[in-house]
Structures are given as structure tokens and as C-alpha cells.
A and B are shown apart, each in its own frame.
Chain A
Amino acid sequence: MHGILTIFRKEMGDHFNSLRFILISALIVMVGVIITSMVGMAIKEEVKGMAKPTLLFLLLFTSTGKLFSFVQFIGFFGPLLGIFLGFDAINRERVSRTLSKLVSQPIFRDSIINAKFLSGVTVIGIILVATVLLISGLGIRLIGVVPGVEEVSRLVIYVIISLLYISFWLGISILFSVIFRSTATSALASLALWIFFSFFVGLGASVIADAVAPVSQTASGVDAEMLIKHEKIQRIISSFSPMVLYSDATTTILDPMRKTTRGLILMGPLERLSMSRFQNPLPLLESIFIVIPHLISIVAITFLCFGICYFVFMRQEIRTV
């Protein structure tokens, strides 16, 4: 435990002193503040003279305004945050030849990787919490609405999901920093994976769905069965992407009007009925039930990723050259 704590403290110091951390947190805070003030002003105009609609506060995070919403921004940019904090975790020590020195101290070898992962997670947590609080404060000033218990709990869950999701990317980048000797290679490999998941999985899903279940326009309209099959395939494949999991989970948690993570075509009859009949927001617990599978998958891939990382690191020969 002692070893973990010492390394953790040093790593935290390194993170906070690094230009990288300052730049990236400045960027996130800046974008967050800009989006919020734009969205906040728009909301203020809209609800002028009206009674306060339910869960208005969450709109600060989910409303897209003119550009994109804060949630979308974190969904896109969060992985980069994880990658930047971890891509040189181990190989930097290898390049500077401090790793062999570190492992010859009386600490357990796994404390090195545990401490590095934990310090990364802590930094991510600090950035996320700070930004969400900042936005909330700004939002309260702008729209004059104080969030209720439910809104706060939804935000807390959102932060937890985001933390897990970004930690997944942190794990990926640390894994690459264990595997690759050069920091440039590990950074590029992590970025390549990020691009693959954010763009190509979605693209690939629709290509494969088109190939397996082509939907053609016939005289009698669209073949309904084929269309459903097409949608199902597309959905299954795209749920391999952690990004899809994450964005489904967070939009459902933050938008109580969303009662399913499925698209319109795949909705069951009861879901459709509820959608058209009941215009009330879902209770928090129900929202959580909907995203539980997503949540568990995100936790699973995060742990899996760190587990692989741990395993590879523990098996590696530490040589000076």
C-alpha cells in the first residue's frame, strides 16, 4: 500500500505540473463555459413568463444549441482526455531508464501500474467534477433555476458513467504504453483505436447491415421484416463500440423523456404506446434500469482493459536495455 501511495502522490504532482494537463483542462472548461452560456441564454429566452418545466436544469447539459451539447462534447473529447493522461505512463519510465530502478525498490511491482492508473482516474474525476460544478453554477446564475434532488442525482450518475468511460480509454492508452517502447507509437495506436471506434464502427455497422439484410424500395413499400433485421444487425454491431454504449447511457440518464435506448423502428409496441401516451418523464430508477446493461458493459470493458494491462505489465521482462 505504501508503494502505491508514494507513486500515486508523485504521479499526481507530475500530472498537475504538466503543460498537457493545463492545456486539456483549460480546453474542457472553456468549451463547457461557452456552450453553457449559449444554451443558458437560449433557455432563458424560451421559458420567459412560463412556469418552470420539469427537469429544466438538465437541458443545460443536453441541449445542443447552435453547436453541440456538453454531453456530446465529453462523449467525443473524453477519450482523448484519457489517452493524453496515459499514453506515456510506462514507456516514459522505460525511455528515461527509471523503470528498472523503480522495480528494484522494495515495492510490489503492481503498485507501479495501479498507482499510475489510479492517479489518472483521479485527475479525470477532478476535471469532470470541476467542469460539471462550474457549468451548474453558471447555469444557476443564467436561468435562475436551482436543480432538484433528481436532477442532481442524474448528474452524479452521469459523472460516474463518464469517469468509467474515460478510464476505459485511460486503460487502453496505458496498455499501449506497456506494449510499445516508444511514446509516439503508443499515442498513435491509442488515437487510431479511438478513430476506429468513433467513426468506423458506425460506418462498418451500416455496411454490414446493408450486405446481410438489404432494404430495398419495392412497389409495396419497404419490406418491414427486412427493415427490422437491418436495424437489429446495425444495432448489435455498433454496440461493440464503447462510444455507442456511452452515448446511449448518458443521453438516457440525462434525458428522462427518453424511455428506451432503442431507435424508433426497433421499439416494442408497449414502448411505443408509452411514448405516445405518457408525456411524463421517467423516474430516475426507471432510467437507471434502462441503462444498466450499458453501464455494466462499460464497467466490464474498463476492468477488462485494466486487467490485460496489469497482466502484460507483470509478465514483462524489465531489462535496462
Chain B
Amino acid sequence: MKDQIVVETEELTKKYGSKIAVNRLNLKIKEGEVFGFLGPNGAGKTTSLLMFLGLTEPTSGKVEVLGFNPARDPFRVKEKVGYLPENVGFYDDMDARQNLQYIARLNRIPDEVSEKRIDYWLEIVGLSKESTQKVGTYSKGMRQRLGIAEVLIKEPKLIFLDEPTIGLDPDGTNRMLDLIQSLSREKNITIFLSSHLLDQVQRICDRVGIMINGNLVAIGPIDELAKQKLGVDQEAYTLEEIYMKYFKEA
């Protein structure tokens, strides 16, 4: 099953007026992998994610997510894909459980089923004790973990995480990364992670893609990129060096 393609794009382009946000993106993501999508702010990472989810229409090119076209069939895609936006928001006057239940209901999950799932995922992300507190009182780390639980409530095959560790303290970051990694290993969920925190990406990603000014300048496993770019063998590089090299060339 490892070779199943879950996201495939062909010459995917998005223009805002004359500004090209994403330029002819060609990308293939395999099932079960952790893919790191890197790039500076404004490189078109979030725009690509929005196109994968059918939240914005591509100007030209093709995109297929789990075999569906998100622009035509957003319903099917959203049923099976979880999306954690950057700085996810919650209904602050409801508690964690109510927030999760609302999302579960929007996904047509019957209450009997969702009750169990909510318990399960709150336990996994470590929010069981705080589940009856209003989300307005949560810390940044707790909100981010609740966001992960919310994405997983619908048991997606693929999740898009947009800067999941931004603004977390070191401990929170570590727990979040461990959680993401375990999702991929234990539940075979494909993870598409957009970030610019390179050391974290290096820690958990199988493959990375580097996006600069709307162009995908590199894609592949980190050690391969290192060989190509730096001409060095394993352990002797950091992702940051590779990234900066690409960044300066662009």
C-alpha cells in the first residue's frame, strides 16, 4: 500500500491578478509518508494547501487528492482529509468536548460513535482532564493539541498541517512532533506538513519539498537533497544548510 498516491498535482498554478502565488507545481505524495513542505513566508505554501482542499480554485493545472478533484468534488475530499490551519480557532465559550462534537456532527458522525472517538483522542493528545474547561482558558499548546484531536475526529486518511508547532514551547513542540510521527507510523495516516522550522521538519519528515516564490525548487528525501546540493554524506549536514543554499540561488 506504500505506493498509493494520495496527492498528485500537475502544472498546478494559482494567480492573484498578475501575481503568481503558485507556479506550475508538480507533486506526488505517497500514502503513509510524512511530507515536509518548506519555504519562506508568502512562498505559496498555504495557497497550495487551500487548492488541495478545494477552498480556492486553481487558475490552471490539475490536482487530485485521494483520487478526487477538490475543485469539483470538495465534499468527497473534505470527508477524508483533515486540515489544521495555522493558528486554529475554536468556539471559546464552549468546552473541548463540545467543540469536537460540533465538528463531528458536521462530519455526520453519529453521537454514539463520536463520544468514544472524542474520549480516545482527548486521551491521546493529553487533554482528558481539561476536557470540560472552556477553550477560551486554554494555552496555546493546548489549543494546538485540541486542533490535532479535532482533525482526527473524522479519522482522515490524509492530514494537512499548516505550521503546527509555531508558537509552542520546546516541550510542547516535542510532544506535538512525537504525536505527528506516531500518527504516521501507527495509524498509517499520510501527513503533509507545511512549516519553516527546519530542524523540526528534518526530525520527522521522510521527504521534503522546498517552495520559493511559488516555485517548487527541490523535492526528495533529505539525504538525497544533501548529496545533490552539498555533495556530502549523511550526518554531516543540516536541512538548514540545504535550504539556505536553495534560498540564495532563487
User: B102 is contacted by which of A10, A93, A106 (Cβ under 8 Å)?
Assistant: A10
Complex alpha-carbon distance, A3 and B92, angstroms: 21
Flag whether B131 is at the interface (Cβ < 8 A): no
B85:A97 contact, CB within 8 angstroms: yes
Encode contact with B along A288-321: 1 for CB under 8 Å, 0 otherwise: 0000000000000000000000000000011111
Contacts of A98 in B (CB 8 A): 89-91
Interface residues of A in 1-53 (CB under 8 A from B): 2-3, 6-7, 10, 17
Listed by A's residue number, 29 A-B pairs whose Cβ atoms lie within 8 Å are A2-B108, A10-B102, A93-B89, A96-B90, A96-B92, A97-B87, A100-B55, A100-B85, A101-B83, A101-B85, A101-B88, A101-B103, A101-B150, A104-B55, A104-B78, A104-B83, A104-B85, A105-B103, A105-B107, A106-B76, A106-B78, A106-B79, A106-B106, A106-B107, A317-B56, A318-B50, A319-B46, A319-B50, A320-B46
**Chain B interface bracket (under 10, 10 to 19, 20 to 34, 35 or more):** 20 to 34
Kindly provide the distance from the CB of B135 to the nearest chain A CB, expressed in whole angstroms: 10
Complex alpha-carbon distance, A10 and B104, angstroms: 13
Flag whether A67 is at the interface (Cβ < 8 A): no
Interface residues of A in 119-170 (CB under 8 A from B): none
Kindly provide the distance from the CB of B89 to the nearest chain A CB, expressed in whole angstroms: 3
Complex alpha-carbon distance, A96 and B90, angstroms: 7
Interface residues of A in 88-117 (CB under 8 A from B): 93, 96-108
Contacts of A317 in B (CB 8 A): 56
A97:B88 contact, CB within 8 angstroms: yes
Contacts of B90 in A (CB 8 A): 96, 98
Contacts of A105 in B (CB 8 A): 78, 103, 106-107
Complex alpha-carbon distance, A221 and B76, angstroms: 77
- Tell me the nearest residue of chain B to A320, going by C-beta: B85
Residue from A3, A7, A320 whose CB has the most chain B CB atoms within 10 Å:
A320
- Tell me the nearest residue of chain B to A109, going by C-beta: B74
B83:A320 contact, CB within 8 angstroms: no
**Chain A interface bracket (under 10, 10 to 19, 20 to 34, 35 or more):** 20 to 34
Flag whether B31 is at the interface (Cβ < 8 A): no
A321:B106 contact, CB within 8 angstroms: no
Contacts of B102 in A (CB 8 A): 6, 10
- Tell me the nearest residue of chain B to A102, going by C-beta: B106
Flag whether B162 is at the interface (Cβ < 8 A): yes
Contacts from B to A (Cβ < 8 Å) = 46, 50, 53, 55-56, 75-76, 78-79, 81, 83, 85-93, 102-103, 105-108, 150, 162
A7:B78 contact, CB within 8 angstroms: no
- Tell me the nearest residue of chain B to A95, going by C-beta: B89
Complex alpha-carbon distance, A106 and B150, angstroms: 14
Complex alpha-carbon distance, A320 and B86, angstroms: 7
A320:B106 contact, CB within 8 angstroms: no
Kindly provide the distance from the CB of A185 to the nearest chain B CB, expressed in whole angstroms: 20
Contacts of B162 in A (CB 8 A): 320
B75:A106 contact, CB within 8 angstroms: yes
A104:B53 contact, CB within 8 angstroms: yes
User: A96 is contacted by which of B53, B79, B83, B91 (Cβ under 8 Å)?
Assistant: B91
B91:A7 contact, CB within 8 angstroms: no
Contacts of A99 in B (CB 8 A): 89
Q: Which 3 A-B pairs have the closest CB atoms?
A: A97-B89, A106-B78, A104-B83
Contacts of B75 in A (CB 8 A): 106, 108
A6:B106 contact, CB within 8 angstroms: yes
Kindly provide the distance from the CB of A16 to the nearest chain B CB, expressed in whole angstroms: 13
- Tell me the nearest residue of chain B to A107, going by C-beta: B106
Complex alpha-carbon distance, A89 and B86, angstroms: 22
Contacts of B85 in A (CB 8 A): 97, 100-101, 104, 320
Contacts of B76 in A (CB 8 A): 106
Complex alpha-carbon distance, A3 and B107, angstroms: 8
Contacts of B53 in A (CB 8 A): 104
Complex alpha-carbon distance, A100 and B86, angstroms: 10
Contacts of B86 in A (CB 8 A): 320-321
Encode contact with B along A256-286: 1 for CB under 8 Å, 0 otherwise: 0000000000000000000000000000000
Given that A103-B55, A104-B55, A106-B75 are known contacts, is A6 also in contact with B89, CB under 8 Å in the complex?
no
- Tell me the nearest residue of chain B to A5, going by C-beta: B105
Contacts of A97 in B (CB 8 A): 85, 87-89
Residue from A106, A318, A319 whose CB has the most chain B CB atoms within 10 Å:
A106
Complex alpha-carbon distance, A99 and B90, angstroms: 9
Contacts of B150 in A (CB 8 A): 101
Kindly provide the distance from the CB of A98 to the nearest chain B CB, expressed in whole angstroms: 4
Contacts of A102 in B (CB 8 A): 106
Contacts of B103 in A (CB 8 A): 101, 105
Besides the known contacts A6-B106, A97-B85, A319-B46, 13 further A-B residue pairs in the complex with CB atoms under 8 A apart: A10-B102, A93-B89, A96-B91, A98-B90, A100-B85, A101-B83, A101-B88, A101-B150, A104-B55, A104-B85, A105-B107, A318-B56, A320-B86
Contacts of B78 in A (CB 8 A): 104-107
Complex alpha-carbon distance, A99 and B107, angstroms: 15
